[in-house]
Amino acid sequence: MIMYMKNKFLICLFILMIPLACFGLTCDTVSFRIPMSNHTRLNGYFITSSSKEFLQKKFLFVVVPSSQRKWQDYEFFTRLLVERGFSLFVFDNREELLKPTDESKVSCYVQDTVKTNCSFYDVASDAVIAFRFLKSHNEFRKYKIGFIGHSEGAMAALVASCSTKPDFLVEIASSLMRGTEFVYSQNAFLSPGKFELLKQLFELSEKELSSLSHYAQEKLSLDSLDYDGYLKAVLTNSIFANKKRKKLEILEYYVKAQWGLHNKHDLAMLKFNPVEFYKKIKCPVLYIVCKRDETTYALRDITTLEKTMYKEKKPFYAAIINTTHSFCKYPVYSPYQTIYSFKHNGRNSRELEKVSQVVNLITSWINKTN
């Protein structure tokens, strides 16, 4: 163990530079414990390929997670980055979303699920600490260091990029909507994907769906986010009056899983305006849109953002990949459930060829840009 004294902080580096099975491939890992202002430590891990043929690539991605995810949840694309010779810096989340250990026992709905009280701003703060730590040490000065994030993690990466000077930023399936609009779209079931979920779940007709859309717009407006009243009204609506109890329980979980605005996580989302942050970015940005995204609907807004960034004379490149938000074959409408698995009791699968397309795109873009 090597000890460093810097800026009156004790930084402990546990050197584990030995080949090990990381992401299912041979790589080297170094573990760090980085002091934070609240007297806790941020656990970080530097990961790089052991293959000599990739040693000439000096790009380091700080992988920024969602506030509800741990860094291991992103291995479906980060392992490919390591295979391509890129290095990673990942860090443990403050709070991790509790997941069932036995996936075979996961029901169609999850009871008593409480959202984390850690917002993406907190994750961004941790990412800034990690970035400044890397920049302050000679061992990493040979690298060009930037952020990469998926979904809410991309939002945190965006915020972190405005507080630092990264060499690049890669955004995957991030929201471009104002927070109020995003919260509204999640609650009101107005998106096509969520209409499809309700239609199949309750065997609703197009007329009933139209009625529900009008009803939702009346009950929940941009100026009045009455979560409790909305939940009660939806569950007692005549459309669902004669449906089976289990389906109503699923619907209740589904409503609760949306933005209830009861905690720090949701309130941070409500106040977020991503475009204003993009205007502050000075480094090159790669924004990857998922064409079949059932969560952020960025395909609708990407052209407007491109025009804004062009007007601001910012180095911005957008690309579209034909996949869902989580790179799965079927859209995911709750943490554990899809329309397909509800109807057929089947398993959703990752579209690995789409993941490869994303990594190929990142590789090509970063080599040209840097």
Residue 254 phi/psi, 5-degree rounding, is: -60, -45
User: pLDDT tens digits, residue range 251-264?
Assistant: 666 666 554 555 67
Last residue of a domain, one of 268, 297, 322: 268
Model confidence, pTM: 0.74
> Residue 355: inside a domain, yes or no?
yes
Nearest Cα to Cα of residue 166 among 148, 145, 141, 149: 145
The alpha-helical segments, DSSP class H, found in the chain are 75-83, 120-135, 152-163, 179-187, 192-202, 206-219, 227-236, 245-257, 264-270, 274-280, 302-311, 339-344, 352-369
> Residue 4: inside a domain, yes or no?
no
In this structure, the answer to whether residues 160 and 193 fall within a common structural domain is: no
| CA 252/CA 235 separation, integer angstroms | 7
Exposure string over 178-192, b if 16+ CB within 10 A, otherwise e: bbbebbbbbbbbeee
In this structure, the answer to whether residues 346 and 296 fall within a common structural domain is: yes
Q: Reply yes or no on whether the pLDDT at 303 is more than 60.
A: yes
In this structure, the answer to whether residues 297 and 342 fall within a common structural domain is: yes
Last residue of a domain, one of 222, 250, 268: 268
Last residue of a domain, one of 219, 237, 268: 268
Per the model's pLDDT, the better-predicted residue between 84 and 112 turns out to be 84
In this structure, the answer to whether residues 123 and 251 fall within a common structural domain is: no
> Residue 232: inside a domain, yes or no?
yes
**Signed CA dihedral, 17, 20, 21, 27: sign only:** positive
In this structure, the answer to whether residues 197 and 149 fall within a common structural domain is: no
pLDDT score of 119: 86
Task: Identify the band that residue 124 occupies on the pLDDT scale cut at 50, 70 and 90.
Answer: very high
Nearest Cα to Cα of residue 188 among 167, 211, 215: 215
User: pLDDT tens digits, residue range 26-54?
Assistant: 678 899 999 887 778 899 999 998 776 65
